[in-house]
Amino acid sequence: MTKPRNGGERRAQILREATGLFAQHGFDGASVRAIARACGITEAAIYRHFDHKVHLYEEVIRTKAEQHDIGARLQEHAGKGTIEDALRTVATNVLDLADRDPELMRLMFNNTLETGTVATVLFREVRLPYISFLSQELEQRMGAGEIREVEPFITSRCFVGMVMDCALNINVWEEINDTDFQAGDVICNNVPIFARGLVGSADETVGAKTGSVT
């Protein structure tokens, strides 16, 4: 291993080794001692670059998010096509991300049982850009009368959560059900169903507001 020549290189090395260990063992399972050992340095050297373990974890997630620039990728498709196209954009981007960066998916999988700041940073940096993009799309399309009235954030979070679950577990499905589902199968099956639920008639929307059943 080439020895880092300056503080910037050392910091990058720490982030790189920490990313791998957090992905493999989760936040609690990856100790600062293990990260230091992987870097060939002392724990004190870690703390010269990061105030505490949570700070290191936050930087790992932020670095991953910056590499993928999720928000910018989504904004290229803002306001284009139908609501089904918007849903397809989100689903395709999530599943492409899972394919491009399995390490990030392992970080997310291990993060599911975390609480507090550790859970918040991954939600904010990775999940929230998808939710925010879809929320904006829903609000605009409700205003244009394209879709029925819904609560944008709740609806977006449910859809993104569904796709994220598919991204995290698609390989597990193969082992349990002896199937060979691909990312495209998830999109083709789920996106039209969700889109049809959003494109309700005016009568259905009025009924939902008043609580009447038609």
How distant, in Å, are the alpha carbons of 97, 121, 123, 192 from that of 135?
20, 20, 15, 18
For residue 194, pLDDT over 70 is answered with yes
What would the pLDDT profile of 158-167 be if each residue is shown by its tens digit? 999 999 988 8
- The dotted CATH code for 7-65 is 1.10.10.60
Question: Cα-flanking dihedrals φ and ψ of residue 211, to 5°?
Answer: 85, 5
Q: Say what the pLDDT of residue 114 is.
A: 73
Please compute the mean of the pLDDT values over residues 183-207 and round it to a whole number.
77
Cα dihedral angle (30, 35, 38, 40), rounded to 10 degrees? Answer: -160
CATH architecture of 69-210: Orthogonal Bundle (1.10)
Other Cβ atoms closer than 10 A to 132: 17
How distant, in Å, are the alpha carbons of 48, 126, 203 from that of 100?
32, 14, 43
What would the pLDDT profile of 56-115 be if each residue is shown by its tens digit? 999 999 999 999 999 999 999 999 999 999 999 999 999 999 889 989 988 888 877 777
For residue 214, pLDDT over 60 is answered with no
Q: Which residue has the higher pLDDT, 7 or 195?
A: 195
Structure tokens at 103: 């390490």
Residues of the chain with CATH 1.10.10.60: 7-65
For residue 213, pLDDT over 90 is answered with no
Residues of the chain with CATH 1.10.357.10: 69-210
Q: Which residue has the higher pLDDT, 124 or 170?
A: 124
Largest Cα separation within the chain, whole Å, is: 72
Q: Say what the pLDDT of residue 203 is.
A: 43
